[in-house]
Amino acid sequence: MSSNANHSHHSGDAHGHDHHGGHEASHGTFKSYMTGFILSVILTTIPFWLVMGKVISDPAVTGAIVMILGAIQIVVHMIYFLHMNTRSEGGWNMMALIFTIVIVIIALSGSLWVMHHLNANMMPMSPEMMRNMP
């Protein structure tokens, strides 16, 4: 009798994880995971095609499109895989989203700044110098 009394509050779950402590965040369905996966594949394939196929002649426009699609992909991952929305976790997910946006803006703008200055400050090589490189 005492062994049944000890396990009655778990009702079939050996670890007692049948409740989530009042959190209203969902864990997603197969359909939502597949939607997120398909969107992620599309948002990865388009930039790859744009760069490898040289679809747009202006590299700055191509870079801007790739960065926009990358930012969209971050949002897709946050919604479909991390299940972040304004209602879950008492609003802390919105703070995490704002923090993520700030970090992404800093990382992207810093990367562009570094790449621009590397490109502007590198010594240009002539074709003869390129042929003589090891």
CA distance 100 to 47: 22
pLDDT number for residue 17:
47
Q: Minimal CA–CA distance to 94: which of 77, 113, 109, 79? A: 79
- Alpha-helical segments (H) within 11-91: 30-52, 59-80
Q: What span, in angstroms and rounded, lies between the C-alpha atoms of 3 and 6?
A: 5
Per-residue pLDDT of the chain (134 residues; tens, 9 = 90+): 545 544 444 444 454 444 454 445 457 789 999 999 999 999 999 999 999 999 999 999 999 999 899 989 988 998 898 887 777 777 777 787 788 889 988 998 999 899 888 887 876 777 787 788 77
**For position 10, what pLDDT does the model report?**
47
Cα 54 to Cα 37: distance, rounded to the nearest angstrom: 26
Q: C-alpha distances in angstroms, 16 versus 13, 22, 47, 55?
A: 5, 14, 45, 54
